[in-house]
Amino acid sequence: MKKRVYDTVVIGGGAAGLAAAAEIAGRGYHVAVIERELSLGGILNQCIHNGFGLHYFREELTGPEYAERMIGMTAHLKGIDFFLDSAVLDVRGPGSGEEGHVVYCISKREGITEFATASIVLAMGCRERNRGNIGIPGTRPSGVFTAGLAQRLVNIDGYIPGKDVVIVGSGDIGLIMARRMTWVGARVHGVVEIQPYPSGLTRNIAQCLNDFNIPLYLSHVVSEIHGTQRVEGVTVTPIEDHHEQPSKSFRMDCDTLLLSVGLVPDNELSRRLGATLNPETGGPYVDATLMTSVPGVFACGNVLHVHDLVDWVTEESSRCGRNVCDYLSGGRTPWQGAVGAGANVKYVLPNRYAPAQMNVFYLRSLIVKNRALLRASLNGRTLLERRLAHVQPSEMVSFTLGPDAFAEVLGAEGASGPADAAAVADSRLEVSIE
């Protein structure tokens, strides 16, 4: 078995892994990036539509173009080694090796390799929920796909999954595939959404459904799949007062059912490492530096929480890379306090704040509301109030808090010394939406 030593091992070669690796290698550290696919870029490679990069690169790019930009950020850096077509078999926590952590990887080219490393960046992305996760009754005919798989079949492999399509769930991938399937000549009979509001971005509702006159059935479910060898149709049932109304059910004939019913952070390796997971996000709990409960192990991108835009993935992961560098250089961990979700907020990340530094937070609303008020409070005192034009669960909200905001409550020192540690530890930052 081959043995290699690195300052950092990044697991995942998508936008998150590349952004973190670029920051770490750019500061002189030796980085290994392990990617299970044959090429870098992750899911971006199959997302041939545009709309990427508007925030981070200030340009409108397709997914492959965005991936190319990210790969280009690492091309000139000598401190990165890429291991493609490689799968991580196991990870071991602190003290497992001379450098602190051990990652075991297998590939056709290299065989089994043991990586000893001082730190790990988890950047494995997310996976799709499937039919088994939502429990649609009926037989098990062919023709049932997740939307992401259908996207790969069409855009990468050149196969058309079917000609008459119904889509379950109004997540962004499902909306984009409604348009894509229409472009390849299929007929999309409708998108069925269990919630009373769409699950995808507003722009995708407009560009992918409204522009093609594809109906969106809110507060409806697919209650049964018909067919034996191949999907022949589905029964769609409306929901009223939180109950299905079978008497109002109707049938849609189709040969293909695409499922866009949510994404789940891919955290099997995180569990194996012993990282504590957040049930609200499916990803690890992280502190203000994006370090998990396992010392030296960081998480960023969709493995931490599912993002709306790859631009936010890149921003977050670049920041993660800088934090890893601080950790490797022996920098002092900042004094931190807890962060909690208040009224009408599903989650807030990171799960801790550091009052002596700039903090970038991400959250998701539990309500749909125009002119909502975002409030961040510490010890009952308001640090931030911001009026938001519109909030809904499908669209992530971000805000920042720096030392000046915390100083008003914790003192001018900004919790910069040991005497302030207890005060910070006892202070809870609560974020709410009204």
| CA 358 – CA 361 distance, rounded (Å) | 10
Type of residue found at 357: Q
For residue range 323-362, list pLDDT tens digits in order.
Answer: 999 999 997 777 888 999 999 999 999 999 998 889 999 9
Mean pLDDT throughout 274-301?
95
Phi and psi torsions of 387, nearest 5°: -85, 125
For residue range 241-274, list pLDDT tens digits in order.
Answer: 989 999 999 999 999 999 999 889 999 999 999 9
Q: Where are the alpha helices (DSSP H) in 95-231?
A: 131-134, 147-152, 172-183, 202-204
Phi and psi torsions of 217, nearest 5°: -100, 95
pLDDT above 90 for 94: no
pLDDT at 202 (0 to 100): 86
99: pLDDT confidence band, cut at 50, 70 and 90? Answer: low
| CA 243 – CA 235 distance, rounded (Å) | 16
Q: Cβ of 135: how many Cβ atoms within 10 Å?
A: 6
pLDDT at 97 (0 to 100): 62
425: pLDDT confidence band, cut at 50, 70 and 90? Answer: low
Mean pLDDT throughout 16-38?
96
Mean pLDDT throughout 316-327?
96
Domains in the chain (CATH in brackets) are: 2-127+264-328 (3.50.50.60), 130-261 (3.50.50.60), 337-433 (no CATH)
For residue range 383-419, list pLDDT tens digits in order.
Answer: 999 999 999 888 899 999 998 888 877 764 444 544 4
Place of tokens 């799968």: 87
| CA 143 – CA 62 distance, rounded (Å) | 28
Q: Cβ of 216: how many Cβ atoms within 10 Å?
A: 18
pLDDT above 90 for 70: yes
C-alpha distances out from residue 203 to 184, 199, 213, 297, 354, Å:
21, 12, 15, 36, 35
Cis peptide leading into 350, omega within 30 of 0?
yes
pLDDT at 419 (0 to 100): 45
| CA 235 – CA 224 distance, rounded (Å) | 5
C-alpha distances out from residue 151 to 69, 160, 223, Å:
22, 9, 24
Q: Given CA atoms 18, 68, 181, 209 in this order, what sign does their dihedral have? A: positive
Q: Cβ of 25: how many Cβ atoms within 10 Å?
A: 25
pLDDT at 413 (0 to 100): 47
For residue range 176-215, list pLDDT tens digits in order.
Answer: 999 999 999 999 999 999 999 888 888 899 999 999 999 9
Radius of gyration of the chain (CA): 23
pLDDT at 418 (0 to 100): 43
pLDDT at 96 (0 to 100): 64
Considering only CA atoms, which of 204, 213, 143 is closest in space to residue 169? 204
**What are the strands, taking DSSP E only, across 262-329?**
263-265, 297-299
| CA 152 – CA 158 distance, rounded (Å) | 8
CB 265 within 8 A of CB 281: yes
pLDDT at 284 (0 to 100): 97
91: pLDDT confidence band, cut at 50, 70 and 90? Answer: very high
pLDDT at 409 (0 to 100): 76
Place of tokens 């196991």: 90
**DSSP track, 55-74:** TTTSS-B-HHHHHHHHHHHH
- According to DSSP, the residues that pair with 8 across neighbouring strands are 31, 119
pLDDT at 278 (0 to 100): 95
